[in-house]
Chain A
Amino acid sequence: MSLSPGDIVAIEKVGVSAGVPPPEGAAATVIEGRSPWRLAYERLRRDRASMISLGVIVLIILVAIFAPVVAAITGHGVYEQFRTTGLSPDGLPVSPSSHFLLGTDDQGRDILVRVAYGARISLIVGVVATLLEVVIGTVLGLAAGYFGKVVDTVIARVIDIVLSIPFLLFAISLVSISHPSLTIVIVVIGIFGWAAVARVVRGQVLSLREKEYIEAARALGAGPWRIMFIDILPNIVAPIIVYASLLIPVTIVIEASLSYLGVGVPPPTADWGTMISGAQQVYQQAWWYLLFPSAALLITTVAFNIFGDGLRDALDPRAEQIYK
């Protein structure tokens, strides 16, 4: 009986290379079995760029969690407008100073505090919308790949249609019809983003469903749902995780784009896209208003992208490593 991918156990010799006899007099070789996840983790740990990115992501998460603490330390509420100290009489933002470390926006609000709170929105949308995309895409991809025939044809055509829709334009229209809100933004991104995941999952399932262990499961009387979710799904988790990690920065940028275009998260919620949009009007007089939210967005997306690539390299060592 052949082993299924989920049953593969990698065996390495600790302290010696495999196949090389131990030096004379050495203690008996200790052989430790390590799972693919452990191996992937170790490969990831050796990837410096990925680890730095992970550190940045953790830092962003901490900033998002402790945004109220930033507000408390500065004494500036996220919605608090400092009309006299934070704005010129002509309504222009004031530059970074000891009072406002990153300057103020066009409403006299502390950019530091708003960038910190903006991280919450980006992460919430990035994670939740991606989760939605992955769940929908995985379920439909599994169904298409496993059932095949009419189900596959229908789902595959739907995937084609969704992928051919000009996403941003359609998303703008959809968000415009309903009043913009965080929930709407997440749902819209989820609705349009699942197709790529479904296509990846479908491809994986098509190859796995012919494996002997699936045939064995079927012979033992397992139903289609059990096979899909118990036997197949665990074996395609790695590519899904990789894809999800790369989807997060895309989702964050889409959310920022929608907010930038005025159809995303409504004001006064602190949001990087909305801040960048507001800064467009005054960026020559107030560079800080454009720079800091843009930098936050850039750093976040780059960190997620590098980490996603690293994750891919770690989970699939055959793939070419990009960042080292």
Chain B
Amino acid sequence: MRRSKQRMMFIVAATCLGMLAAACGNGGSSSTSTTAASGAIANQRYAANDSGTPVTGGTLTMLGTGDVDYMDPNVSYYAIGYLGLRLWSRSLYTYPAVQGQTTNEVPDLATANPTITNGGKTYSVTIRQGAMWNTTPNRQVTAADAVLGLKRTCNPAQPFGGQPDFSTLIVGYADFCSGFAKVSATDASAMKAYIDANNFSGVSVDPSNPQTVVYNLTQPVSYFTNILGLHAFDPAPVEYLNYVPAGNDLAQHTISDGPYEVQSYNPANSLDFVRNPAWKASTDPIRKAYVDHIHVNETGTQASIQQQILTNTPQADMEWDSFVPTNDIPGLLASNDPRLSLETEYSTNPYVLFNTQSPNNSGALGKLQVRQAIEYALNRTNLIQDAGGPKVSPPLTQVLPPGITGSAPSYNTYSYDTTKAKQMLSAAGYSGGLTLKFLYRPANQMSSKMFQTIQADLGKLNITVTGVPVPNADFYTKYLEVPSTAKTGVWDLSLAGWSPDWYGNAAASFFPPLFDGRVLPPTSSNFGLFNDSTLNPIIDAALKAPTEAAAGALWHQADVETMKQAAIFPITDPNQAVIHGSQVHHAIYMAPYEQIDPTNVWLSN
């Protein structure tokens, strides 16, 4: 469950070079599609540049504006951290750099899909022979490493942010973690002692095969294989126990089982990767690892990076955590620049949030009719204009974006209709209008623009929207994640965004954290404190569904119910725009990393 931050960031940082872009397009192949592989994602554009015969060697230079969150596979939780891990930390399952299949999980370290027994409650995963750590001497990656990796996720120093995805699902994990939380967060030896001394039945090594790790679940679910693809489940070498998890010391002593190893890491400055001699291509069906060396410069600005790549500067092959400024996209599209990829994020970002427990206006937003009136009154087209237009931000009219199991592309409960909105508001007893407080971030361009658009839209209903401007840093931590601010009516409306932790069968990464009223922030991200007695049982049933198909049907029901109850006003499932130099080939955009996969590109010069 990841809160979407990136898009907000790029709007803030956007700077424009559109005219330059129009002048600099050159070589390579591209294709444009109005429908994606899933058949429902609008305005995607692929720029793989697959022409030519792959060449091995060279230095790939990636330009960015920031650093990874952590150099620790069991803790890292953001896309940029995952992008780095793609190079040096292999997962049990991962996503292939194959156009149209980039969100379909396939075995990575695992030899095959898990063997599921015990009525769907036991998963056995066998790790490939020959997958080696670059220790001295090289050592086989084992099931014991996978057990250690999972144990490290709830370390007291820096626990993995996505634990709610599986904390109650894996037998004994929650108890193990509550005990671990009592251990000193600064004492690596104390943490090592706890991990060595404590086991839980949810994860273990198969006694008959040291390469097979066994996971026991509290209930059968259809998405556990997807969860196994999280980097949090990556095997961890025993040497990591000598360091505080996610700490600076560990960051300088990483051990790799991927095609590259960290040659140098200069936090917030640069990262250099070179080939890992312990890695064998025969054990890795995912990464071609064409280039010899990858240099990441983390000190750029969005504008300078864009300019360097557009002008095909030799030292600017790809973006790291940067992306094409929104306002440049129309120009690049108009010139049909073959280096531009525009692909879905599979997120709902942003969406309008209703504070359902606000006491303001006699609890108006707690009333279904008022929320529904606002759903009818908000003009999605206007908000999409604020987000760069429909090419960049295709409309989303439901909770689940296209491509996520349970999503129904044509489903729209509320079409823009101010007459109906006025009638509903009047029927709810607010014909005289009401005043709503809109929590927003003035330093965030899109937040500020959308606030003004919503203010104008709702003004037509005689709803006065007043701004509650707050600094970026306080927006979540001091407001949305603090239920008392919602309950005391500090705000009525706001904007938030959400990206799933995994893809495909990923509705479990949307509904429980966003709409289950039995769990409140900060444990969940149900910022509007929405609670629906009809929805909660549907969520429970969908989580327990034994198959993806069964889960999909239930998640769709959940989606319908959520929208019927007007819990949020979805706006868009935005497309991410990334660009690469003409010299970069097989440039496949990967939603989990929000970038092109560096382990599969090759350079033509």
Cβ–Cβ contact B467 & A106, under 8 A: no
Chain B 1-39: CB-based contact to A (< 8 A → 1; otherwise 0): 000000000010011111100000000000000000000
Q: Is the CB of B385 within 8 A of A87?
A: yes
Contact A285 B16 (CB under 8 A): yes
Instruction: Kindly list chain A residues whose C-beta atoms are within 8 Å of the C-beta of B190.
Output: none
Please determine whether B392 and A262 come into contact, CB atoms closer than 8 angstroms.
Answer: no
B386 A91 Cβ-Cβ under 8 A: yes
B259-267, B293-301, B468-476: which lies at the interface: B468-476
B455 CB contacts on chain A under 8 angstroms: 268
When the two chains form their complex, are residues B452 and A91 in contact, meaning their CB atoms are under 8 A apart? no
A24 at the interface (CB under 8 A from B): no
In the complex, chain B residues whose CB is within 8 Å of the CB of A179: 468-470
Q: Which of A162-170, A213-221, A275-283 contacts its partner? A: A275-283
Task: Find out whether the CB atom of A180 lies under 8 angstroms from the CB atom of B442.
Answer: yes
14 of the cross-chain contacts (CB-CB < 8 Å) are A91-B387, A92-B330, A107-B449, A179-B470, A261-B443, A262-B441, A262-B469, A263-B471, A268-B455, A280-B15, A281-B16, A281-B327, A282-B16, A284-B17
Q: Cβ of B392: which chain A residues have Cβ within 8 Å of it?
A: 90
Residues of B within 8 A of A282 (CB): 16, 327
Q: Determine whether A22 belongs to the interface, using a CB cutoff of 8 Å to chain B.
A: no
A88 at the interface (CB under 8 A from B): yes
The residue of chain A having its C-beta at the shortest distance from the C-beta of B472 within the complex is A262
Check if A81 is an interface residue, CB within 8 A of chain B: yes
Within 8 A of B (CB), among A123-181: 176, 179-180
Number of B interface residues in the complex (CB < 8 A)? 43
Q: Are B452 and A267 closer than 8 Å at their CB atoms?
A: yes
Interface residues of A in 51-88 (CB under 8 A from B): 79-81, 83, 87-88
Which residues on the A side are within 8 Å of B384 (C-beta)?
91
Which 10 pairs between the two chains have the least Cβ-Cβ distance?
Answer: A90-B389, A262-B443, A284-B16, A91-B385, A262-B442, A268-B452, A176-B471, A90-B330, A281-B14, A266-B469
Contacting A at CB under 8 A, from B471-491, are 471, 474
B336 within 8 A of A: no
9 other A-B residue contacts (CB within 8 Å) besides A88-B389, A281-B326, A283-B16: A81-B452, A90-B329, A107-B386, A107-B449, A262-B441, A281-B16, A281-B327, A284-B327, A285-B331
Q: Determine if B40 is an interface residue (Cβ-Cβ < 8 Å).
A: no
Report A251-280 residues with CB < 8 Å from chain B CB: 261-263, 266-268, 278, 280
> Contact: A281 with B445, CB < 8 Å?
yes
- Per the 8 Å Cβ criterion, residues 299-322 of B in contact with A are none
Q: How many A-B residue pairs have CB under 8 A?
A: 90
CA distance A278 to B444 in the complex (A): 10
CA distance A280 to B389 in the complex (A): 18
Is B451 an interface position by the 8 A CB rule? yes
Q: Does B391 contact A (CB under 8 A)?
A: yes
Secondary structure of the A contact surface, majority rule: loop
Is A83 in contact with B16, judged by CB distance below 8 angstroms?
no
Judged by a CB distance under 8 angstroms, whether B456 is at the interface is yes
**List of A residues within 8 angstroms of B330 by Cβ:** 88, 90, 92
- Answer whether residue B388 sits at the interface, using C-beta atoms and an 8 A cutoff: yes
The answer to whether A25 has its CB under 8 Å from any CB of chain B is no
Is B270 part of the contact surface with A, judged by Cβ < 8 Å?
no
A263 to B467, CA, bound (A): 13
Residues in chain B near residue A92, CB distance under 8 A: 327, 330
The 0/1 profile, CB within 8 Å of A marked 1, for residues 369-394 of chain B is 00000000001011011111111100
Smallest beta-carbon distance B307→chain A, Å: 11
- CB of B448 within 8 A of chain A? yes
Answer whether residue A21 sits at the interface, using C-beta atoms and an 8 A cutoff: no
**B187 CB, nearest partner CB in chain A, Å:** 36
A23 at the A/B interface (Cβ < 8 Å)?
A: no
Complex CA–CA separation, A263 to B441 (angstroms) = 10
B65 part of interface (Cβ distance < 8 Å): no
Is B453 an interface position by the 8 A CB rule? yes
Interface centre among A81, A91, A261, A267 (most CB of B within 10 A): A91
Point out the residues of chain A lying under 8 angstroms from B325, CB to CB: 281
CA–CA, A179 to B467, complex, Å? 9
Judge whether B443 and A106 touch: CB under 8 Å: no
Q: Determine if A89 is an interface residue (Cβ-Cβ < 8 Å).
A: yes
Q: How far is the CB of B183 from chain A (nearest CB, A)?
A: 37
Q: CA A282 – CA B18 in complex, angstroms?
A: 10
Q: Are A267 and B327 in contact (CB under 8 A)?
A: no
A263–B443 CB distance below 8 A: yes
Instruction: From B19, B389, B448, give the contact of A284 (CB < 8 A).
Output: B19
Q: Which residue of A lies closest to B452 (CB)?
A: A268
| CB closest residue in chain A, given B442 | A262
Give the chain A neighbours of B456 by CB distance below 8 A.
Answer: 79-81, 268
Do A285 and B327 have beta carbons less than 8 Å apart? Answer: yes
Shortest CB distance B92–A (Å): 42
- Asked whether A263 and B442 contact (CB < 8 A) given A89-B385, A179-B470, the answer is yes
Choose among A79, A80, A83, A176 the residue that contacts B385 (Cβ–Cβ < 8 A). Answer: A83
- CB-based contact A267/B453 at 8 Å: no
Q: CA–CA, A304 to B441, complex, Å? A: 33
- In the complex, are the beta carbons of A180 and B445 less than 8 A apart? no
Contacts of B18 in A (CB 8 A): 284-285
- A81 and B443 in contact, given A179-B470, A281-B16 (Cβ under 8 angstroms): no
A284 vs B303: C-alpha distance when bound (angstroms): 12
Closest chain A residue, CB of each to CB of B455 = A268
B585 to chain A minimum Cβ distance, whole angstroms, is 30
* Cβ < 8 Å to A, chain B residues 487-537: none
Report chain A residues within 8 Å CB of B441: 262
- Tell me how far the C-beta of B450 lies from the nearest C-beta in chain A, rounded to whole angstroms: 10
0/1 interface trace, chain A 279-305, chain B, CB 8 Å (1 if under): 011111100000000000000000000
Complex Cα spacing A91 to B392, Å? 11
Bound form: Cα–Cα A180–B467 in Å: 10
- The answer to whether B469 and A106 touch across the interface, beta carbons within 8 angstroms, is no
Assess whether B442 is in contact with A266, with CB atoms less than 8 Å apart. yes
Q: Is the CB of B453 within 8 A of A81?
A: yes
Residue of A nearest to B11 (CB): A281
Q: Is the CB of B382 within 8 A of A90?
A: no
User: Whole-angstrom distance between the alpha carbons of A263 and B444 in the complex?
Assistant: 11
Q: Give the residue name and chain of the A residue nearest to B457 (CB).
A: A81
Query: Hey, which chain A residues are within 8 Å of B381, CB to CB?
Result: 83
